Structure 1
Amino acid sequence: MTTSSTVPPPATTGDEVARHADRLWQAVRSGDEHAAGARAALADGVPAETLLLDVIGRVQRKVGVEWAANRLTVAQEHAATAINDRVIAMLAQHPDAAPAQPERGRVTVACVDGEWHALPARLLAEVLRLRGWRVDYLGAQVPAPHLIAHLHLTNPDLVALSGSLVTRLPTAHATLTACQATGVPVLVGGAVFGSDGRHAHQLGADAWAPDARQAAERLRRPLARRASDHQVLDDLPHLADQEYTLVAGSARQLVRDVLAGLESRFPAVRDYDDRQRDHTAQDIAHIVEFLGAALYTDDSEVFSGFLVWTADVLHARAVPPVSLLPALDLLEHGLRDFPRAAGLISRSRQALSEALHAPGRPDPERNDPGKPA
């Protein structure tokens, strides 16, 4: 029999959790999986859910911040994510992380098709498992037909759908509508649905939560099963103008036209090597994709928020953020016959200009102001 004097006290203080988060950060930063210390955290009495959300989740958010600030390479970001994923796998098999009993119900957790950032969904799956749910975790980028087939096969109590890329909003909408058509309610989360859940409500989700802990709390109350026969236009009547469809369908041509326009404005672009041209084309393609998402939701903040974030990423990589502006000018000119698209570009361009010249921000023309994004 173990005496109380040999049992470590629960590590519930913020300082103790921060210490373990720092240890994990140092491990993922150096690529040293064995230094991650998850078993030590459990031995210190850190609850498994706290370890998942306040240690692993906290470190993963820092990985994203450090990548955006150009203090982690893409390879380091991938390595860090892989270590976090393996720590979660270890935790799932640890005897100190046994799920609650009795079983509360069955839930399918999946990422939107095209969504590779699976760690938030994995964290949710493990938290729900700890709280007594039977979880079918399907992982990254699950095509809607395969997800629907799985629902027919398993008949879960609900679907939890995760996504972080706002450009996947149309796919997310189609997927949650298809799930609801089977009678299964859908809880959604992730940046794709807005930090305040605005797009979750707009697209007709049954519930939304900003993080895994609040999602688990929300599911203390069951979500009602329902049959749904509503159509996309019921949720988004502005799509009747066909601008989203036409812009999305002409995305490749828009990218080519903007790139050609940049060559006229900035002759130096003509001398770019293949790698530089590819990067420039990719940047323009992202701009067009986010414009499409803004058209789909009729929300200019989707586009302006992306532009301001991109400006910060460019600055961290020594590319003048002001170089975004001529690309926006060219895109607006190319879409001058699309009033809603042109209006979104104009408003977002103004928001970007204001952000670039806000007090305390670095010079938006730093380095070579004639170099396009």
Structure 2
Amino acid sequence: MAFDEAATVGTVLRALDDGMAAEDLLLDVIASVQGRVGREWAANSITVAQEHAATAINDRAVAAVALHPSVHKEPTRGRVTVACVDGEWHALPARLLAEVLRIRGWRVDYLGAQVTAPHLVAHLHRTGPDAVALSGSLATRLPAAHATITACQAVGTPVIVGGAAFGPGGRYARLLGADSWAPDARAAADELACGPLPRPRPGHQAIDDLPHLNDQEYTLVARSRPRLVRAVFTQLENAYPAMRAYTEVQRERTAEDLSHIVEFLAAALYTGDEDLFCGFLLWTAGVLEARGVPAASLLPALELLQRELQDFPRATATLRAGAARLTATPLTAAGTAV
């Protein structure tokens, strides 16, 4: 947190010189520190600016490890493309996986954050990798992940996925038809080392293979997000006149929170899983509590959204489930669910 990039890089290079395995350094030190950075931000112990700065320094530390003479070697295995889901800006997990695969002898094309399906498929046509490793941290990107998985498989390239977006135990990886899932970078590297992933069959997974999407609720809610945010914001102002005295920053934050609620509601409708939405609400409640905002402040917004979406049975059921979970779950002083 001193933002001393030179000291950080020097520390990891000394660890390599002292004989620490590069993979352990990447995953047990740098990745662990990054996890703590995220938890400290959620607990309101550090600012967004501090979180961004620490992440940038961690990224430079990863680069320093990757370029160390003891690590940088010629590939002895096949080729893997590593990319983040379209709309996914949390690139460090994918970067760590790319470096672990290089250490294990793979030739790796690391494409970074927010890779669209057409750009990824164009790359696959040019390079013909053995597999695509797709990373996603935010569940709101699952519809884009589904499209990307399907597009890669359509050109005969198997897809292994990982990251928090794919849910506990990789439940959404299976739902969206990924060829494999791994809980972390080590497991992904181990899976790829066991042998080539089977080439997907033509038509292996169609984008419309989720029958619950036939009701169009996901599409209509996702497309209506700006209108829903405006409507709920206006109704909150009418119900709670104190909101009219909010600063511009407070108004922007409130609108952002409402937008995130609708985004995660849409993701829950896409996957057909209420737990996805409930988990997001509990996480948001913890973040708010850590900043002195009562978790109960989310309940009026959920009630207003139910009114706006009264003709959408799955959406209203999901909102009711979220409100019930929020009411029933105590939070610790640090703002996390007990």
Shorter-chain TM band: over 0.9
RMSD between aligned residues: 1.4
The residue aligned with 1:18 is none
Show structure 1 runs of 4+ deviating over 6 A. none
What is the TM-score with the length of structure 2 in the denominator? 0.95
Partners of 2:31 and 2:168 in 1: CA distance: 17
Q: 2:154 aligned to 181, 184, 188, which one?
A: 181
Query: Per the alignment, do residues 55 and 143 of structure 1 end up closer, same or farther by CA in structure 2, a change over 3 Å counting?
Result: same
Partner SS state of residue 70, structure 1: coil
TM-score, normalising length: structure 1: 0.86
Give the structure, 1 or 2, with the largest relative contact order (CA under 8 Å, sep 6 or more): 2
Residue number in structure 1 paired with 2:311: 337
- Counterpart position of 2:295: 321
- Residues 159-178 of structure 1: matches in 2 within 5 Å? 159-178=132-151
Q: Are positions 1:31 and 2:3 aligned together?
A: yes
Deviation at 1:176, TM superposition (A): 0.8
SS of the residue 1:290 aligns to: helix
Out of 190, 197, 220, the residue aligned to residue 193 of structure 2 is 220
Secondary structure at the counterpart of residue 168 of structure 2: coil
Native 8 Å contact 2:43 2:334 kept in 1: no
Structure 2 residues without counterparts, runs of 5 or longer: none
Which amino acid letter does the alignment assign opposite residue 130 of structure 1? Answer: I
User: For 2:160, what is the secondary structure of its paired residue?
Assistant: strand
Q: Summarize deviations over 1:311-340 as a string: whole Å, max 9, x none.
A: 110011111111000000000111111001
Match of 1:103 in 2: 76
Asked if structure 2 preserves the Cα contact closer than 8 Å seen for 1:182 and 1:227, the reply is no
Q: What is residue 280 of structure 1 aligned with on the other side?
A: 254
Partner of residue 180, structure 2: 207
Q: Output the amino acid matched with 2:208.
A: L
Q: Which residue in the other structure is 1:293 paired with?
A: 267
**Cα distance between partner residues in 2 of 1:93 and 1:311:** 41
Q: Secondary structure at the match of 1:109?
A: strand
The 3 A distance-change label for structure 1 pair 140 and 130 is same
What is the total number of aligned residue pairs between the two structures? 331
**Aligned pairs for 1:47-86 within 5 A:** 47-86=21-60
Shift of 1:363: 12
**Which whole-Å CA distance do the structure 1 matches of 2:333 and 2:12 have between them?**
40
* 1:109–1:160 CA contact under 8 A, matched in 2: yes
Displacement of 1:102: 5.9
Partner residue of 1:370? Answer: none
Aligned-pair identity (%): 63
SS at match of 1:53: helix
Distance 2:202 2:297 in 1: 46
Which residue identity lines up with residue 33 of structure 1 in the other structure? Answer: E
State how 1:12-27 maps to structure 2 within 5 Å: none
User: What is the CA-CA distance between 1:223 and the residue it aligns to?
Assistant: 0.1
The match for 2:114 is 141
Query: 2: distance between equivalents of 1:363 and 1:325?
Result: 20
Gaps of 5+ in 1: 1-28, 365-373
1:157 maps to 130
Question: Which one has a bigger Cα radius of gyration?
Answer: 1
Report the more deviating stretch, 184-193 or 69-78: 69-78
The whole-number CA distance in structure 2 between the counterparts of 1:133 and 1:203 is 26
Q: Structure 2 counterpart of 1:89, which letter?
A: A
What is residue 235 of structure 2 aligned with on the other side?
261
- Per-residue CA deviations over 1:82-117 (Å, capped at 9, x if unaligned) read 111111111111111134x76110000000111110
